[in-house]
Amino acid sequence: MRGRDEACAWKGTHVLAVAQFDDAMLLDLFDVARRMKAMVAAKGKSDVLRGKVLANVFYEPSTRTMCSFDAAMKRLGGDVLSVSESSSSAKKGETIEDTVRCLQCYCDVLVLRHPQVGTAAKAAAAAQKPVLNAGDGVGEHPTQALLALSLSLSLSLSLSLSLSLSLSLSLSLSLSLSLSLSLSLALSLALSLALSLTLSLTLTLTRRCSTCSPSSTRAPRPRRAPVRST
């Protein structure tokens, strides 16, 4: 149910700049990306976009961005049309608006890479299908920025978990050391008490033995009879 709600919320949306995303949208986007990553790891691909077509329109060389969109669409069960400047009517002077109006008849979403700033916005204004900005010169590259943000959040989370684990281990070690010291102190007190009791018992027995010794008990001297004078 949640996946359908998310799909409805994003349906028909152009992706032109990072400023169009608020915190809630970013959380939803990263959650979907996490689930898609888990799906690819488990199954390799899905048919969620079966029957859908993506147009990859790249007017300047690209490897990572173009291949990432191509692979993503195919892993989700869709198909891809690849268009370059050399293979399009732009060589004959066709405007980007006319190119988009033509291509949207053959696809469900367009990915545009162009060397001129603002071209993605022009294409989106002319299109009735969603346009994803894959870089417009020195302007914006929102998908790359979102990827960098996602990686940063993942690293921050991993670091936080590592620090939390380290603190937990340190606390456990401190408690263990404290317990060991307490046990050692208790053992020392017990030994000291045992020694004290042993010494006290020894002294008591010694005194009793001295009191009961035959050499210490002398018989009374007999009285001499008085000598009477005559």
**Residue numbers annotated as active site:** 64-65, 92, 113, 141
Cα gap 116→123, rounded to integer Å: 12
Opening angle at CA 27, ends 120 and 151, nearest 5:
75
215: DSSP letter: G
Angle at which helices 119-126 and 96-103 cross, to 10°: 50
For 61-215, where are the alpha helices, taking DSSP H only?
64-75, 96-103, 119-126, 142-211
Q: What are phi and psi of 45, to 5 degrees?
A: -160, 170
Please report, for residues 102, 166, 178, 196, the alpha-carbon distance to residue 175 in angstroms, rounded to integers and kept in the order given: 71, 14, 5, 31
Q: Which long-range contacts (CB under 8 A, 24 or more apart) does 64-68 make?
A: 65/113, 65/134, 65/135, 65/141, 65/143, 65/144, 66/113, 66/134
Q: Whats the size of the chain, residue-wise?
A: 230
